[in-house]
Amino acid sequence: MIEPNWPNNTRFSGRDDATHQPLATVGAVTRPIASDALCGDVCAWWWRNQNLYLSLADGLGHGEFAREAALAAMASAQRQPADTSLSDIIARCDDDLRATRGVAIGLAVVDATAQTVSFCGVGNIRALLINATQHRRFICGYGIVGAGFKNLFIDTQQFFPGDILMMASDGLPEHFVVSDPLSESSCSAQQLAEALLQEWAVETDDAAVLVYRAPAC
């Protein structure tokens, strides 16, 4: 069973009112562990001041309380003012999630004007930048958002039209491979997310894949 799974206040198609950028370049898919109907992995994306934020949270364990923690993380991140750094957003999530099980999180922001993507994460989140010359893996800090963390690092890279940013939970093996045909532009972000989940997701954990392809000019 593969079903898209995102909070109701995020949009995934059409155009953003402020920037007129197409949103269909985002794709996301989540799938619960075989033993549970609810998924503890949640993906979300939202705009602030013409910057696109993308996030994937993996609530500890699985089921209802994992999902509650992941949804709380997405809500906390989306509440933060536009000028909040990625590390401060995660620090505020850490405060806001104290009463929950906690999450692993990946958080990225795409600045279309500067043509950069910045990533910051905690725990077992796979995050990958794919462009014509490299597959770059972003590094996450140690810990649990909601129970403390260390070694947060914000990694900023150039990000050009056609480049792909991808996040996955540890429901995919750490060194999953994105084959060349998948990363070609004929494959939509949603198709890419679904294909990767189909090929790599393990049945012993919730799984999620979030994909953003920078629109061609």
**Interface residues toward Mn ion, by CB under 5 A:** 58, 169-170, 205
Closest distance between Mn ion and the C-beta of residue 103, in Å? 10
How far is 152 from 155, CA to CA, in rounded Å?
A: 10
Is 92 exposed, middle or buried (CB count within 10 Å of its CB: 0-12, 13-18, 19+)?
Answer: middle
Nearer to Mn ion, 174 or 180 (CB): 174
Nearer to Mn ion, 194 or 205 (CB): 205
The DSSP code sequence of the chain is --B----TT---SSB-TTT--BSTTEEEEEE--TT-SS-SEEEEEEEETTEEEEEEEEESSSSHHHHHHHHHHHHHHHHS-TT--HHHHHHHHHHHTTTS--EEEEEEEEETTTTEEEEEEESS-EEEEE-SS-EEEPPPBEEEBTTEEE----EEEE--TT-EEEEE-TTS-TT----HHHHSTTS-HHHHHHHHHHHH--TTS-EEEEEEEPPP-
Partnered with residue 213 across adjacent β-strands are: 164
Nearer to Mn ion, 115 or 124 (CB): 124
| Neighbour tally for 83: CB within 10 Å | 8
Closest distance between Mn ion and the C-beta of residue 202, in Å? 9
Nearer to Mn ion, 31 or 213 (CB): 31
Closest distance between Mn ion and the C-beta of residue 6, in Å? 17
Closest distance between Mn ion and the C-beta of residue 126, in Å? 11
Closest distance between Mn ion and the C-beta of residue 132, in Å? 31
Closest distance between Mn ion and the C-beta of residue 120, in Å? 19
Nearer to Mn ion, 58 or 68 (CB): 58
Residue 66 tokens, joined: 């994992």
Nearer to Mn ion, 118 or 169 (CB): 169
